[in-house]
């Protein structure tokens, strides 16, 4: 158990650091960083399929695609959604949107709980229901004070569709993720090929080494999270999953972004909602042990 917690926290810290790390890669654009990150991360993802003994699932998905060719389009669509989120994650810190994206990731787990209830008739505990109410109050206040959530926060919340499709079509394993990432590889190679590295080196002499380090950090973080998911019960894994958006929020504040007065109600409501979700998870873990 302790080993799994360590893997999960290590992965979250690395993902949080990657959020900050993108600020070290200027003058590359979000598209450039995204392209190189995927290129350098794909080998780790493919390796994970074999390390965690998912080869049979990979073969199963390929057979499904052969029987039902339309599933290939689903993998491409999921890959596009996942790729957009990866791009947004890397673009935001260098474009004044780190806070908006981090708030979106704080809201996303609650959106997923609501989607689970609506689309899969999953049970919502009283504490999670209270959490959703507080999140709704926060969003309503944001609409009243600012006219709505930022497009970045909405884009992150829209990522729920990715998880709905994966669950509905039984594509939630590592092998499916590897196939999704492989579908993004051609466009990522294109983005990377458009970068004039010698020119970029004039402004950032360490850029090549930093890009390799980005791939290494991403790959290690991904495999650490998978290792944690294979050890920990889902409730505890979900609780620890909140470490990453909190790290993202801290990074947003470190790089100079500020929470304006109109956003405070949303921020406070999300913190309270997160507290109820964490309490719900702790109580479930305690009940499972007794």
pLDDT of 29-55, one tens digit each?
A: 989 999 999 998 898 889 889 988 889
Q: Output the pLDDT for position 290.
A: 60
Cα distance between residue 114 and residue 91, in whole Å = 28
Q: Output the pLDDT for position 7.
A: 82
pLDDT above 80 (res 71): yes
Q: Return the top range by mean pLDDT from 69-73, 165-169, 226-230.
A: 69-73
Q: Which long-range contacts (CB under 8 A, 24 or more apart) does 130-135 make?
A: 130/273, 130/276, 131/272, 131/273, 131/274, 131/275, 131/276, 131/277, 131/280, 132/273, 134/269, 134/270, 134/272, 134/273, 134/276, 135/107, 135/110, 135/269, 135/270, 135/273
- Map out the domains of the chain as residue ranges: 2-289
Q: Output the pLDDT for position 262.
A: 87
Residues near 110 by beta carbon (within 8 Å), at least 6 away in sequence: 128, 131, 132, 135, 273, 277
Cα distance between residue 269 and residue 232, in whole Å = 29
pLDDT above 70 (res 241): yes
Q: Which of 213, 231, 226 is nearest to 57 (CA)?
A: 226
Cα distance between residue 48 and residue 139, in whole Å = 38
Q: Output the pLDDT for position 17.
A: 92
Q: Output the pLDDT for position 27.
A: 92
pLDDT of 144-203, one tens digit each?
A: 888 878 899 999 999 889 989 988 998 888 899 999 999 999 999 999 999 999 999 999
pLDDT above 80 (res 240): no
Cα distance between residue 212 and residue 262, in whole Å = 40
pLDDT higher for 146 or 251? 251
pLDDT band with cut points at 50, 70 and 90 for residue 244: confident
Residue 176 structure tokens: 């499916």
Q: Output the pLDDT for position 81.
A: 94
Cα distance between residue 141 and residue 136, in whole Å = 8
User: DSSP 3-state assignment of 26?
Assistant: coil
Task: Name the DSSP letter for residue 148.
Answer: S
Residue 254 structure tokens: 């470190």
């Amino acid at each position: 158990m302790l080993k799994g917690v360590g893997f999960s926290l290590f992965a979250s810290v690395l993902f949080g650091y990657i959020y900050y790390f993108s600020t070290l890669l200027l003058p590359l654009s979000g598209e450039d960083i995204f392209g190189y990150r995927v290129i350098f991360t794909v080998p780790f993802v493919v390796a994970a399929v074999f390390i965690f003994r998912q080869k049979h699932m990979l073969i199963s998905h390929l057979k499904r695609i052969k029987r039902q060719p339309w599933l290939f389009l689903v993998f491409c669509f999921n890959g596009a959604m996942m790729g957009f989120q990866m791009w947004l994650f890397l673009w935001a810190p260098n474009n004044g949107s780190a806070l908006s994206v981090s708030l979106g990731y704080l809201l996303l787990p609650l959106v997923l709980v609501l989607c689970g209830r609506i689309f899969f008739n999953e049970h919502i505990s009283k504490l999670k229901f209270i959490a959703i109410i507080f999140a709704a109050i926060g969003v309503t206040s944001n609409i009243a004070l600012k006219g709505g959530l930022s497009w970045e926060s909405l884009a992150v919340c829209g990522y729920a569709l990715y998880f709905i499709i994966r669950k509905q079509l039984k594509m939630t394993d590592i092998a499916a993720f590897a196939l999704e990432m492989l579908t993004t590889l051609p466009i990522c190679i294109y983005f990377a090929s458009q970068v004039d590295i010698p020119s970029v080196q004039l402004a950032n002499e360490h850029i090549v080494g930093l890009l390799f380090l980005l791939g290494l950090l991403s790959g290690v973080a991904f495999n650490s999270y998978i290792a944690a998911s294979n050890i920990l019960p889902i409730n505890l894994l979900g609780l620890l999953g909140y470490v990453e958006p909190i790290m993202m929020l801290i990074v947003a504040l470190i790089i100079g972004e500020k929470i304006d007065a109109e956003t405070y109600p949303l921020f406070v409501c999300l913190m309270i909602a997160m507290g109820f979700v964490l309490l719900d998870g702790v109580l479930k873990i305690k009940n499972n042990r007794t």
